[in-house]
A = this chain, B = another copy of it.
Amino acid sequence: MAPVPAVVLLSGGLDSATTLAVARAGGFDCHALSFRYGQRHALELASAVAVATHLDAASHRIIDIDLRAFGGSALTADLPVPKDRDDAARAHGIPITYVPARNTIFLAYALGCAEVLGAADIFIGVNAVDYSGYPDCRPEFVAAFERVANLATRAAVEGRSTTIHAPLLAMGKAEIIARGLELGVDFGMTLSCYDPANDGAACGRCDACHLRLEGFRRLGRADPARYQPA
């Protein structure tokens, strides 16, 4: 059987690494897509490169996009990343680390890439449980984008449909980690922190670090990532 190509959005974090592993386990030839988007943690991209190789991606494209032209988010502008927030604080409202229209832009590029590769499948590692504050991580967003994908492209006109897979959508962080471990993901290669040190050590205190550490804690496993000394 000829390999079936898929496009997989890969950030270098824990979720997208697990997503890539899920796509590989599903038998897809995975074309990974990462973005250099003016984020101050370009270290993330080094993780993405390592993860793509580790999980046997068929190709890995890194696309330059300039979200900084918009401003408006701690991940692209020079606002402080919030630290040591408790669950209650995280549960309220949209985090300032939200990047305007980010997943819409990433999926739009993935769609262009899928069209050129002749891929009918796109994988994205969003999950609605831990990140309910992000509007573009909700199931209805993914479904709406799939509808756009099925109208926007040459494939759509020619009657071939596109599926947006979001296999982690209903999973909590512990469940995602468990699934990744089951599939052989080396989470030591992944970087989730919003504010890592220059050497790539995670801060252990931002929302992403808290969620990740709590996930490993629930599983009774040690997080193999490097953290800055407390």
Contact = CB atoms under 8 A, between A and B. Distances in A.
Interface in A139-196: 140-141, 144-145, 147-149, 151-154, 156-157
A112 B67 contact: yes
B148 A100 contact: no
Nearest to A151: B141
Contacts of A147: 144, 147-148
Contacts of A153: 100-101, 135-136
Nearest to A105: B108
Interface stretch (A18-26, A68-76, A213-221): A68-76
B113 A109 contact: no
Helix, strand, loop or mixed for chain A's interface?
Answer: helix
Interface residues of A, number: 43
Contacts of A105: 105, 108-109, 112
A135 B155 CA distance: 9
A54 interface: no
Contacts of A94: 154, 157
B104 A111 contact: yes
B135 A101 contact: no
Interface stretch (A8-16, A43-51, A57-65, A222-230): A57-65
A151 B126 CA distance: 14
Contacts of A85: none
Contacts of A157: 94, 135
A116 interface: yes
A135 B148 contact: no
Nearest to A103: B152
B115 A101 contact: yes
Nearest to A111: B101
Q: By CB atoms of chain B within 10 A, which of A63, A104, A115 has the most?
A: A104
Given A99-B112, A104-B152, A135-B151, 4 more contacts: A64-B64, A72-B115, A104-B108, A135-B152
